[in-house]
């Protein structure tokens, strides 16, 4: 693909203290099979040499663009910057510490194009620790709430967070043009905890989340993971509910606000009661 041609797919890899994951990132890049793809690797902190190590390791891969900045912006701003910077019709975020052994973009794009109402196409999550040891208790082999062929409804969107549906969808293939046409950048929650889940809720209001069981990704867990220190508190729960209501007000179907307000209020109360 010419460097000037618009790619069909953008793969966005945000870095943060990522030196220990350089081998994994390179392996993920090497699985990419699509002939029309750009890969954007971005570091907004430069706390280590990960970006330069990757630049050296991937210097022959002309699909890759490197973005270097030291503005120290948080993950929500970083992801939104990549969403806006991307040129592809479709986007997939590829976190530095996860694995994408079946990154079959050709077939994922075909799945998206065969289902015009799809906003995200995603697959199962397989869990391991940082040494590759399986953690089956954390697998999400079937996180989707509906069977193939059933319509996505507002009820499914409202149940997405309280019932834990669609775990792994944030790392799926996103119809970036649909997302941008609706102005759906990620909105921050307080401390940014669960901002990605709230965004999935918003995306599900404008398109369907579609599950394809063949294309799993590997979620790696460890004590040094960024999310390992996330402990939801009461203000996090309240903020999550407020952000969801804002998305619903701006993007929900006509007449959905009353139903959504009740459901999100009940979810927030339940989460508050479960907090110490």
* Mean pLDDT computed over every residue of the chain: 94
Q: Of all residues in the chain, what percent carry a pLDDT higher than 70?
A: 96
Does position 24 have pLDDT exceeding 90, yes or no? yes
Give the pLDDT score at 1. 47
Give the pLDDT score at 230. 66
Strands of 16-169 (E only): list them: 37-43, 64-68, 90-93, 118-122, 125-129
Give the pLDDT score at 51. 98
Give the pLDDT score at 4. 64
As its CATH architecture, domain 1-96 has Alpha-Beta Complex (3.90)
Averaged pLDDT for residues 56-78: 97
Report helix, strand or coil for 209: strand
| CA–CA gap between residue 115 and residue 152 (Å, rounded) | 12
Q: 121-158 pLDDT, tens per residue?
A: 999 999 999 999 999 999 999 999 998 889 999 999 99
Cα atoms in the Cβ-side hemisphere of radius 13 Å centred on 77: 9
| CA–CA gap between residue 190 and residue 234 (Å, rounded) | 10
Rounded to the nearest 5 percent, the helix, strand and coil shares of the chain are 40, 15, 40
Give the pLDDT score at 275. 78
Give the pLDDT score at 2. 45
Q: How confident is the model at residue 82 (pLDDT cuts 50, 70, 90)?
A: very high
Averaged pLDDT for residues 22-50: 96
Does position 171 have pLDDT exceeding 60, yes or no? yes
Give the pLDDT score at 126. 95
Return the domain boundaries, the chain.
1-96, 102-276
Give the pLDDT score at 228. 55
Averaged pLDDT for residues 205-232: 84
Averaged pLDDT for residues 234-246: 97
Does position 164 have pLDDT exceeding 90, yes or no? yes
Q: Which residue has the tokens 């952000």?
A: 243
The β-bridge partners of 92 are: 11
Averaged pLDDT for residues 256-273: 96
The β-bridge partners of 66 are: 41
Q: What is the pTM of this model?
A: 0.94
Q: Decide which of 87 and 226 is more confident.
A: 87
State the pairing for strand pair 118-122/208-211. parallel
């Amino acid at each position: 693909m010419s460097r000037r041609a618009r790619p069909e797919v953008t793969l966005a890899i945000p870095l943060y203290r990522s030196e220990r994951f350089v081998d994994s990132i390179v392996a993920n890049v090497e699985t990419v099979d699509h002939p029309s793809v750009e890969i954007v690797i971005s570091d907004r902190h430069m706390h280590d040499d990960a970006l330069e190590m990757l630049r050296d390791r991937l210097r022959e891969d002309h699909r890759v663009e490197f973005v270097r900045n030291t503005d120290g912006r948080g993950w929500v701003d970083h992801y939104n910057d990549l969403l806006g910077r991307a040129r592809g019709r479709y986007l997939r975020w590829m976190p530095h510490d996860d694995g994408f052994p079946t990154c079959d973009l050709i077939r994922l794009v075909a799945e998206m194009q065969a289902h015009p109402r799809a906003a995200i196409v995603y697959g199962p999550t397989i869990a391991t620790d940082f040494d590759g040891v399986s953690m089956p208790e954390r697998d999400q082999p079937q996180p989707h709430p509906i069977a193939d062929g059933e319509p996505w409804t507002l009820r499914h969107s409202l149940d997405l967070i309280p019932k834990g549906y669609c775990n792994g969808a944030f790392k799926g293939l996103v119809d970036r043009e649909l997302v941008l046409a609706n102005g759906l950048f990620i909105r921050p929650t307080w401390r940014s905890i669960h901002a990605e889940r709230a965004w999935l809720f918003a995306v599900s209001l404008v398109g369907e989340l579609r599950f394809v069981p063949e294309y799993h990704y590997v979620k790696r867990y460890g004590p040094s993971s960024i999310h390992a220190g996330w402990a939801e508190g009461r203000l996090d729960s309240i903020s999550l509910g407020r952000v969801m209501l804002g998305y619903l007000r701006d993007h929900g179907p006509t007449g959905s606000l009353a139903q959504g307000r009740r459901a999100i209020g009940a979810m927030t109360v339940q989460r508050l009661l479960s907090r110490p």
